[in-house]
Amino acid sequence: MQLLMDFSYSTKTKNMKKEIEEILNAQIEKEGYSSHLYLAMASWADANGFAGTSAWLYTQAEEERTHMLKFVKYINERGGKATIGALQTPPAEFNSIKEIFKLVLEHEEMITNSINEIVAVCQQQKDFTTQNWVQWFVNEQIEEERNARTILDKLNLIGDGSLYLFDRDIMTLRGANAAANESAASNT
Ligand code: OFO
């Protein structure tokens, strides 16, 4: 009796080169860690009474999870094999809201470099389909960095002042930046 199912009948063609599969799988881990990191920050902000900031970070953590899923689904759709590994433990303690957003910006700059590296590997490997697909992330990173910089600008303006209004209004920045991005896109 055959106990194991035979998956060799898969109709998917292997359209993905090893180099592309590897770098996209590495990005799954990075997007997963982004989600984890922002969740840890959200939890810290929540526990310290920053309801608005935690809402922003919880939403961001969800967004990062959808980014990770996009990579998982794309790799499998193109006949590659997406792998899900263990994630590094993010920090549990932060010194301030400003420190959190400095870390967010640094992290997003690292992700931007990582996405650019994917584009470079696509060009080397002449995988123009993946290069075209990953363009969504190239644009997304412009927004991610802009969001973090806008928030840091607000925090610099506040200086040592009260964070009450910042925490109350932070979610409106998400909408404002989305509108700015849309208008920038429609002008190109
Ligand atoms: Fe997935 O864009 Fe942030 O990390």
Are 146 and 32 in contact by the 8 Å Cβ rule? The answer is no
Q: Which residues contact 117 (CB under 8 A, 6 or more apart)?
A: 23
At residue 159 the predicted structure's pLDDT band, cuts being 50, 70 and 90, is confident
Distance CA 55, CA 52 (A): 5
Residue nearest to atom 1 of ligand 1 (CA): 64
CB-ligand 1 contact for 32 (6 Å cutoff):
no
Structure tokens at 176: 């404002």
pLDDT digits (tens, 9 = 90+) for 10-36: 666 678 999 999 999 999 999 999 999
Superfamily for domain range 18-186: Ferritin, core subunit, four-helix bundle (1.20.1260.10)
Distance CA 84, CA 43 (A): 24
* Ligand 1 geometric centre to CA of 107 (Å): 8
CB-ligand 1 contact for 70 (6 Å cutoff):
no
pLDDT digits (tens, 9 = 90+) for 103-113: 999 999 999 99
pLDDT digits (tens, 9 = 90+) for 42-80: 999 999 999 999 999 999 999 999 999 999 999 999 999
Asked if the model's pLDDT at residue 179 lies above 70, the reply is no
Distance CA 102, CA 97 (A): 9
CB-ligand 1 contact for 108 (6 Å cutoff):
yes
* End-to-end Cα spacing for the chain: 62
Q: How many CB atoms neighbour CB 183 within 10 A?
A: 9
Q: Please report, for the chain, the start and end positions of each structural domain, with discontinuous segments joined by +.
A: 18-186
CB-ligand 1 contact for 64 (6 Å cutoff):
yes
Residue nearest to atom 3 of ligand 1 (CA): 108
State the closest ligand 1 atom to the C-alpha of 67, by its place in the atom list counted from 1.
1
**Model confidence, pTM:** 0.87
78-101 b/e (C-beta count within 10 Å ≥ 16 → b): bebebeeeeeeebeeeeeebbebb
* Ligand 1 geometric centre to CA of 138 (Å): 10
CB-ligand 1 contact for 34 (6 Å cutoff):
yes
Least confident among 27-31, 83-87, 174-178? 174-178
Asked if the model's pLDDT at residue 100 lies above 90, the reply is yes
